[in-house]
Structure 1
């Protein structure tokens, strides 16, 4: 079984590619889609790969004029405690990533932004999931009132100072701004850790210099 969301398509042409021979859905829930694939290894042998298929998510870094970030406190059941987090959420089917970022920022913090900057994408769980997280910087913030989901409980958003290592580095990178109607892309390769780091540092320096 091959398709646009199949791991074997994403590595096509790579000498380390593992090709899918057969796919089984082990569990399909409201969020989690657990799959088990039989794959062909580069040496011709076969193996089994179990992983979670994920629709992707966005995370927003909302920056105030003085450089502080808008963050929130939310209880996370799997770990049994609350965490200080940036606004984030799952991408709905067919939803543009910028539209998702705008929606999550408004829903969770009650804030809208006039200036959006796409920083890149990260893959946080590459050993067991195909999840990707698209990262945006949001500036020009104004409060409009939250619109949280019924099952979502958050403490009122708070402002926190940027970490010093973001504001004390001289690395710079070109910015890629986006409009409400654009599909956002980034030319950096996702496996390049310096790409996201440079964009985030550059955006942080720009925000704190205003």
Structure 2
């Protein structure tokens, strides 16, 4: 069914390796038989957490993002370590970034946020029955925490205060789940 859309790798490989991302350039064969080049980022994947402090109230972060040069409103998230279980990653990131633990976890789904130039996938988790603790931020990580209602967060998406794709996607998932 999709055969007329599939691109096939001819050759290529890694052109850059950083601490946790890689850049790859491949020569590919298009569905019409012509050749083309694809350059893309290889990413280990990530988990994002929707921390529900109480019904309708979520925990958010404010964090400076260097590539864009501004502070963003986001949900807690972080990359998946090699061989790490997805739920273990979500638990670790929630604790590190917020200091909270959760008694109830639910995997809501998966998103691919940059399909035109990256293979990154982000697993979405809902965390409930929250217990506060001490943040355990990584060196060089600076995060401010604050509460916001789901209703106010949706308004912040519409007025442009929240533009982070993973956060917007999570808010959509949560709204659909809650009906």
TM-score clears 0.5? yes
1:203 to partner: Cα distance: 3.4
- Deviating more after overlay: 134-143 vs 57-66: 57-66
Q: Give me the whole-angstrom Cα distance separating, in 2, the residues matched to 1:204 and 1:103.
A: 25
Q: Give me the whole-angstrom Cα distance separating, in 1, the residues matched to 2:33 and 2:42.
A: 25
Is 1:32 aligned to 2:21, yes or no?
yes
TM-score by length of 1: 0.72
Structure 2 residue runs without a partner (length 5+):
155-169
Q: Work out whether residues 137 and 203 of structure 1, in 8 Å CA contact, stay in contact via their aligned partners in 2.
A: no
Q: Give me the whole-angstrom Cα distance separating, in 1, the residues matched to 2:74 and 2:52.
A: 14
Corresponding residue of 1:141: 130
Q: Work out whether residues 33 and 52 of structure 1, in 8 Å CA contact, stay in contact via their aligned partners in 2.
A: yes
1:144 to partner: Cα distance: 2.0
Higher strand proportion (structure 1 or 2):
2
Structure 1 residue runs without a partner (length 5+):
1-12, 167-195, 206-210
Structure 1 outlier segments of 4+, above 4 Å: 196-199
Residues 73 and 197 (structure 1), Cα distance of their counterparts in 2 relative to 1, 3 Å cut: closer
Residues 153 and 34 (structure 1), Cα distance of their counterparts in 2 relative to 1, 3 Å cut: same
Q: Work out whether residues 47 and 78 of structure 2, in 8 Å CA contact, stay in contact via their aligned partners in 1.
A: yes
1:31 to partner: Cα distance: 2.5
Which of 145, 162, 176 in structure 1 is aligned with 2:150?
162
1:198 to partner: Cα distance: 7.5
Root mean square deviation, CA, Å: 2.1
Secondary structure of 1:163's counterpart equals helix
TM-score by length of 2: 0.84
Secondary structure of 1:78's counterpart equals coil
Corresponding residue of 2:49: 60
Corresponding residue of 2:67: 78
- For each residue in 1:70-112, what CA deviation from the matched residue of structure 2 results, as whole angstroms up to 9, or x when unmatched? 0111111111111111000000011111110000000000000
1:48 to partner: Cα distance: 0.5
Q: Give me the whole-angstrom Cα distance separating, in 2, the residues matched to 1:42 and 1:93.
A: 34
